[in-house]
Structure 1
Amino acid sequence: MTIEIKQFKKENLAVRIFTDETSAGKGSADFVAQHLNNAIQAKGYATLILATGASQFAFIEALKTLQVDWSKITVFHLDEYKGLPETHPASFRKYLKERILDIVKPFQVHYINGDAKDIDREIAGYEELLKAATVDVACIGIGENGHIAFNDPEVADFNDPALVKIVQLDDISRRQQLGEGWFSTLEEVPKEAISLTIPAIMRCKVISCMVPDKRKANAVYNTLNAEISTACPATILRRHPHTVLFLDKDSASQL
């Protein structure tokens, strides 16, 4: 049973707090499915962006059980490590294929090939696909350093002219990936990634931001209370017209 314990808004950003991660994931999945179905009903198809990482486990588990016509959905993904093959356990392409996309079988999936031989061409092509798309729903998280996608504070740009770019990963971001168990040592964690930029995220019609876990509590507090700036990139979500932040009691513990 999905149990929601509180709702409020901070500027434009809607916040929904649930008893636990499973309930927050179900709440987020219900929200995403509703907006995908609305888009399909209105125009016959929908476009979706999916994120990865431990924060998305409960959401993805719930989403793939819901009534959605995946044959009418095109999927993009949010970011990928530069130089990491798809066979690596930390590959975001591997994550999405195994956890949901090979199961629900969308109409089309556009993956970022992080180990493409010509990475500049890969990025240019992915950006052209994004420019041509109207994204109905983006599913994202917030990092321990306040990043959205891999837009860490040092590289985040609210006015970035690009939609996709190579970014440097900061130490907090790399340690988060290690702490979540994707790599055995910090040295193994790539120092670069290909990421959608903040303008690419902000141009999406609807954003679902799923952020469970106590280790995200400080980032959640800053997202809602800090000055809107790239010092905490997720603060920009307070300016998006239709974003919902899905929290559990642990991630909301500092509010």
Structure 2
Amino acid sequence: MGAASAKAIATELRERLGRQSQVRMIFAAAPSQAETLRRLREERRIDWDRVTAFHMDEYIGLPADAPQRFAHWLDAALFDHLPFTAVHRIVPEPDPAAAAKAYASHLADAPIDIVCLGIGVNGHIAFNDPPVADFQDPLDVKLVALDETCRQQQVDDQCFARYDDVPERALTLTIPRLLRADRLFCIVPGSTKLDAIRRTLYGPIAINCPASILRQQAHCTLYLDAESDPDAER
């Protein structure tokens, strides 16, 4: 799955760089993305110095040097390995509301070409959990409260030792902002995501499973492994 998704992303990048001067990408930060990003780093003949990178969410309330910050995770997984034109990191401090507006402005400077995203156990995309997800959200970046399932997933993914260590709030790109990108690659491994993928593919398109909206996006490709695929023989 990681090899197939990375190859497809790299092919898309090369094609776009062949016909335009710059490419702008948004990346998810999560263990589910690690193998794809590792493989993507190994792809050749990509002019990364013509690629500008963003990420899609960030915790509020963590120390600046906390390894759980998504910006730091992506630095280690991708950004520090490649010569991007620029990397725009979400920095919530000192004013999360102002940071949301500033990041939305950076995103709006030019179209977003590619988004690499995942799906959460509760069906979230970015930090658009069911209680706060909005398919018609007027904002591009907003402050949200994380629901219990989302916070528990961070512990189950071994990103935090205890539930109480997981921040209660975050900044996130909204669903409409993500879906305005030209091309989406959605990478979702693991048995813990099986129910979320089943609801994404076969349940109603509704905010109780935010990822279900991806079914209406012809420009989105979903990558699963045998454990997350509800149609795989078991």
TM-score by length of structure 2 reads 0.96
Residue in structure 2 matched with residue 207 of structure 1 by the alignment: 184
Aligned to 1:58: 35
Structure 2 CA distance, aligned partners of 1:57 and 1:237? 22
TM alignment of 1:154-165, pairs within 5 A: 154-165=131-142
2:218 corresponds to 1:241: yes
Shift of 1:127: 0.4
Q: Following superposition of structure 1 onto structure 2, how do residues 32-71 of structure 1 map, counting pairs within 5 Å? A: 32-67=9-44, 68-71=46-49
Give how far 1:86 is off: 3.8
Classify 1:72/1:40 alpha carbon distance in 2 versus 1 (closer, same or farther; 3 Å). Answer: same
Q: Residue deviations 1:208-242, cap 9 Å, x none?
A: 00000001000000000011010100000011121
**Partners of 2:59 and 2:69 within 8 A in 1:** yes
In the alignment, residue 229 of structure 1 is paired with which amino acid? A
Q: Secondary structure at the match of 1:178?
A: helix
Deviation at residue 87 of structure 1 after TM alignment: 1.5
Q: Distance in 2 between matches of 1:253 and 1:233?
A: 18
- Verify the 8 A CA contact 2:96 2:171 in the aligned structure 1: no
Unaligned runs of 5+ residues in structure 1 are 1-23
- 1:110 counterpart = 2:88: yes
Give the Cα–Cα distance (whole angstroms) in 2 for the partners of residues 88 and 167 of structure 1. Answer: 20
Moved over 2 A (4+): none
* Alignment-derived partner of residue 60 in structure 2: 82
Tell me, yes or no, if structure 1 residue 152 matches structure 2 residue 165: no
The structure, 1 or 2, with the larger RCO (C-alpha pairs under 8 Å, 6+ apart) is 1
Give the 3-state SS of the residue equivalent to 1:165 in structure 2: strand
- How far residue 254 of structure 1 moved from its aligned partner, in angstroms, is 5.3
Indicate if the aligned counterparts of 1:40 and 1:46 stay in contact, CA closer than 8 A. Answer: yes
Q: Structure 2 CA distance, aligned partners of 1:85 and 1:205? A: 34
Contact map agreement 2:114 2:181 (CA 8 A) in 1 = yes
**Residues 161-176 of structure 1: pairs in structure 2 closer than 5 A:** 161-176=138-153
- Partner Cα separation in structure 2 for residue 190 and residue 157 of structure 1: 21
- 1:92-111 residue CA offsets vs partner (Å, 9 max, x unmatched): 01101111111112010111
| CA distance in structure 1 between the aligned counterparts of 2:64 and 2:220, rounded to whole angstroms | 31
| Separation in structure 1 between the aligned mates of residue 208 and residue 56 of structure 2, nearest angstrom | 21
Note if contact 1:218-1:254 (Cα within 8 Å) is conserved in structure 2: no
- 8 Å Cα contact 1:86-1:94 kept in structure 2: no
Question: TM-score normalised to the size of structure 1?
Answer: 0.88
Alignment equivalent of 2:120, drawn from 133, 143, 147? 143
Q: Which residue of 2 aligns with 1:3?
A: none
**Who is 1:231 aligned against?**
208
Cα distance in structure 1, aligned partners of 2:87 and 2:150: 26
Equivalent residue, structure 2, for 1:252 = 229
> What is the root-mean-square deviation in Å for CA atoms of aligned residues?
1.0
Q: CA deviation at 1:63?
A: 0.5
* Secondary structure at the counterpart of residue 228 of structure 1: coil
- Correspondent of 1:95 among 45, 62, 73: 73
